[in-house]
Amino acid sequence: MLQVEMMPAERGDAILVEYGIGPQATNRVLIDGGPVNSGNYDGIRSRLAEIPTAADGRRYLDLLIVTHVDTDHVEGVIRLLQDDELRCVFDDVWFNGWRHLVEVDPTATVDVLGGKQGEFLGALLQHQGRPWNQFVKGGPLFVPDVGELPTVTLRGGLRLTLLSPTVEKLERMAKVWGDEVRAAGFEPGDADAAVASLSSLWWAQAPGGTLGTSPIPSSSDGSEANGSSIAVLAEFGETTTRSVLLAGDAHVDVLTASLRRLKAERGLAVDAPLAIDAFKLSHHGSKNNVTGQLFEEVLATHYLISTSGDRFNHPDAEAIAGVRSAHSSNGVAAPELLFNYRQPNTTIWDQPAITARFEAEAILRLTT
């Protein structure tokens, strides 16, 4: 069984992947934690509290992926790591922090939105002694320009193939990280100062604090933060292999190039789209990240769109129409659309001729 659940995360992502042999999940991966405002973290926390505890009272997950540092992906993770009641433990945490950006580009002068949140997360991982990018021996996670795409098989048999980011995207992020950090009164890479600053912020506290309004994230599809997103193709199954592309906010040029490489590596026809079971669309269904070029490389039977539509009015109608058009032009059956909110930009697809599901049904379960 392979199950993907888009937890309500307002304009962001908080995705729980559960898998295992048989009807019950025994392994789990968490991808992002959404923003922290209007009680958003409380809902995610309640769902994670359903994960069974071990004999020591902790909840063990195989992997935490923090795709990138925009607030609508990272704030909830920062609170989760300090949640001493929930007590989540991860075999590894995938996250490209400041030290990884400097390793990629030692000449970076540093200066973008999310840099401060990235510093906070990196400081917590360091101070708490959490495993961090162990897949690459503590180094940066990226898709190399040449050679095979990085691949790892997690405990329990989930295979992950890294599709984003590239070195170029990380270098661009490295050049736009530090202004916000310095505005907060400390230097990039100073973990002690970051933790001290973190303690004064309402949204970073453990559950029980006063909630307010999160900083507004970047709405730009082409932002350096989005370009630095970690994206993976997850595959699982013994008899039947199921596959889900979890794209974060990755840029379309990186995804298309990596998918083309993946098909070549596997000896598949490079002029035909890769057929997969599900695709969590990049950047919440933005039209600039859902293009005809992308669907030359991949088509899915299910598309997952995580957004409440606030502030940026995602998903774009052009993006969803593009998904359906790509299937039609390729002679492929119309896909199922899964939304984790019923809102004006999703309910327009609630028509008899279109298969769409909403809110509490934004759970995709695939038998293997």
Q: Which domains does the chain have, with CATH numbers?
A: 2-213+223-366 (3.60.15.10)
Taking only the tens place, the pLDDT of each residue in 86-106 is: 999 999 999 998 788 877 655
Mean pLDDT confidence for 219-244: 87
Nearest residue to 178 via CA among 69, 64, 32: 69
Q: Residue 51 — pLDDT band, cuts 50, 70, 90?
A: very high
Q: What is the pLDDT, as a whole number, of residue 113?
A: 32
SS3 (DSSP) at 265: helix
Percentage of the chain beyond pLDDT 70 is 83
Whether the Cβ atoms of residue 98 and residue 91 lie closer than 8 Å to each other? no
Cα separation, 173 vs 115, in Å, equals 9
When mean pLDDT is compared across 20-24, 189-193, 310-314, the lowest value belongs to: 189-193
Mean pLDDT confidence for 138-164: 96
User: Is pLDDT of 305 > 50?
Assistant: yes
When mean pLDDT is compared across 4-18, 61-75, 116-130, 289-303, the lowest value belongs to: 116-130
Nearest residue to 214 via CA among 33, 54, 22, 21: 33
Which phi and psi (to 5°) does residue 321 adopt?
-60, -35
Mean pLDDT confidence for 199-206: 52
Taking only the tens place, the pLDDT of each residue in 164-176 is: 999 999 988 877 7
pTM: 0.89
Q: Residue 197 — pLDDT band, cuts 50, 70, 90?
A: low
Q: What is the pLDDT, as a whole number, of residue 196?
A: 62
Most confident of 122-131, 190-199, 253-262: 253-262
Radius of gyration of the chain from its Cα atoms, rounded to whole angstroms: 19
DSSP element (H, E) containing 226 = helix 224-227
Taking only the tens place, the pLDDT of each residue in 206-223 is: 444 323 333 334 445 668
Q: Residue 111 — pLDDT band, cuts 50, 70, 90?
A: very low
Q: What is the pLDDT, as a whole number, of residue 192?
A: 65
Taking only the tens place, the pLDDT of each residue in 323-337 is: 999 999 999 999 999
Q: If you average pLDDT over every residue of the chain, what do you get? A: 87
DSSP-derived secondary structure letter, 197:
H
Mean pLDDT confidence for 36-53: 89
Mean pLDDT confidence for 255-271: 97
User: Is pLDDT of 107 > 70?
Assistant: no
Q: What is the pLDDT, as a whole number, of residue 174?
A: 78
Q: What is the pLDDT, as a whole number, of residue 182?
A: 62
User: Is pLDDT of 63 > 70?
Assistant: yes
**Residue 174, number of CB atoms within 10 A of its CB:** 27
Q: What is the pLDDT, as a whole number, of residue 180?
A: 57
Q: Residue 23 — pLDDT band, cuts 50, 70, 90?
A: confident
